[in-house]
Amino acid sequence: MFSVRIQTRPISLATAHDQAHDRCGAEVRFVGKVRNDARGAALECLVLEHFPGVTESEIERIVGLARQRWSLQKASVVHRVGRIAVGEDIVVVETASAHRRDAYEANVFIMDYLKTEAPFWKQECFADGRAHWVEARASDQRAAQRWLAEGRQGAEPTVASAQRRRIGALILAGGEGSRMGYLNKGLQALHGRPLAQHVADGLRPHVDFLAISANHDLAAYESLGATVIADDPAFGVRGPLAGILSALGRFPPGLDAIMVAPCDAPLLPADLVPRLAAALFAPDGPPAVVAATASQTHYSIFMCRPGMLISLIPRMREPSDFSLRGWLRACGCATLQFDDEQAFANVNDLPALQALRA
Amino acid sequence: MITITYFGSLKLLQPSGAETLSWPGGTTDELLAQLRSRGPEWAEALHPDRVFKLAVNRRLLHVAAPIEDGDEVAILPPVTGG
């Protein structure tokens, strides 16, 4: 039900339209075609080029983002490359869902991102023999950016409040541990359990999926019973944002929120996840809620809507502030006050760990 | 040696679409600087203000990265699909 195909042969709508699942009450099909006019001249055909292997995985990533944001039973993309004559189909995107809004919105989202992120290049060939490469359009960029703005306003589809929210959690353990003499901080023991396990055990009853962002001692983290995700080198050394972005494609589809916590806060309060969720899913709630205590805002402890993570992609591309604080503030996060200062104790160095062990 | 593949309009710079280059080591930024120094049309097409991506060994990059001898580098102009 989820497929990406790139082909040189004409797209057959009959085969592209496979049997949608019985639970689908709505199916949307977008067909992009070659128009016969380009800037007033008579167009004969387009020639489309792609980057084999890379284009497919970029489209799969876009479909994955759509699945995180909308409840879909089907998302299929067929894109043609090579010579495509006037009137022929370039791309067919089909989405299906229980209700029409998910299928409609996901379909537009996939096309908007496909046009700005997937590696395809179009050459226009005219009847008089001229040919030229099509320039990227600012209007396409704006169309894709619109989804970021909606993520900020928290305008994602909301499920009925009676329905339980599905939450995925990510524990950040990817740092170098430089303040612990390069010991792997999350694996230091406190009362017989690694610090990261304290965090994992605290989150697990409240979440549907648990992952740990780590770059060293991966097997030790796996033994804590979580999915371990190392930084994707494509994002370079970008600290926690690279860890979150690397995890983006690994979360299961259909989550309503992402909970992020550091590996070195072993005493987090039991009501952390429920309270952050209540604030996030309040009517007109913010796109992210960050935990705060009287002393400070804890920017590494927050819950956000999955759609907000998409804003990391353009942020990583430009030199900007790669701190969690910078990103969360730019996204318009809210803070939620907790009373128990000690519960947010952060084991930054060995003396802090020894103090907790005592 | 490294191989460089050019996509889309960047083929106007290198009509065969690919070339090999001896490579003493360095980063993607250093490769781009070297290519830009080939002449005004290269400097223009690969200007830092123009949005484009690089891929090393078929992996899209979002930040500068080292290029090793033997790597396949692809230079991608802004995309125009759909």
Q: Which of the 8 DSSP states describes residue B32?
A: H
One pLDDT digit (tens) per residue for chain A, 358 residues: 899 999 999 998 875 555 656 778 999 999 999 988 766 778 889 999 999 999 999 899 899 888 888 889 999 999 999 999 999 999 999 999 999 999 999 999 999 989 988 999 999 998 888 888 888 887 787 777 777 655 544 334 333 333 467 899 999 998 765 555 667 888 888 888 899 999 999 998 888 899 999 988 888 898 888 899 998 877 766 788 889 988 887 888 778 899 999 999 999 998 999 999 989 988 888 999 999 999 999 999 999 998 888 888 777 776 667 889 989 998 889 999 999 999 999 888 888 888 888 7
CA distance A47 to chain B (A): 10
| Prediction ipTM score | 0.92
Tokens representing residue B21 in the block:
């280059």
CA distance linking residue A87 with residue A100, whole number of Å:
28
Q: Which residues of A touch B (CB under 8 A)?
A: 32, 48-51, 53-54, 58, 79, 90-91, 111, 114-122, 133-137, 233-236, 238, 313, 316-317
**B-chain residues within 8 Å CB-CB of A235?**
62-63
Domains for chain B: give ranges and CATH numbers: 2-76 (3.10.20.30)
Q: Taking CA atoms, what residue in A is nearest to B81?
A: A120
Contact between B79 and A116 using a beta-carbon 8 Å cutoff? yes
Domains for chain A: give ranges and CATH numbers: 2-136 (3.90.1170.40), 167-357 (3.90.550.10)
**B-chain residues within 8 Å CB-CB of A122?**
80-81
Contact between B55 and A90 using a beta-carbon 8 Å cutoff? no
CA distance linking residue B78 with residue B74, whole number of Å:
13
Closest CA relative to residue A40, chosen from A155, A128, A151, A161: A128
Q: Taking CA atoms, what residue in B is nearest to A33?
A: B82
Contact between B59 and A234 using a beta-carbon 8 Å cutoff? yes
**B-chain residues within 8 Å CB-CB of A234?**
59-63, 65
Label residues A312-345 b or e (16+ Cβ within 10 Å = b).
Answer: bbebbeeeeebebeebbeebebbbbebeeeebbb
Q: Taking CA atoms, what residue in B is nearest to A319?
A: B63
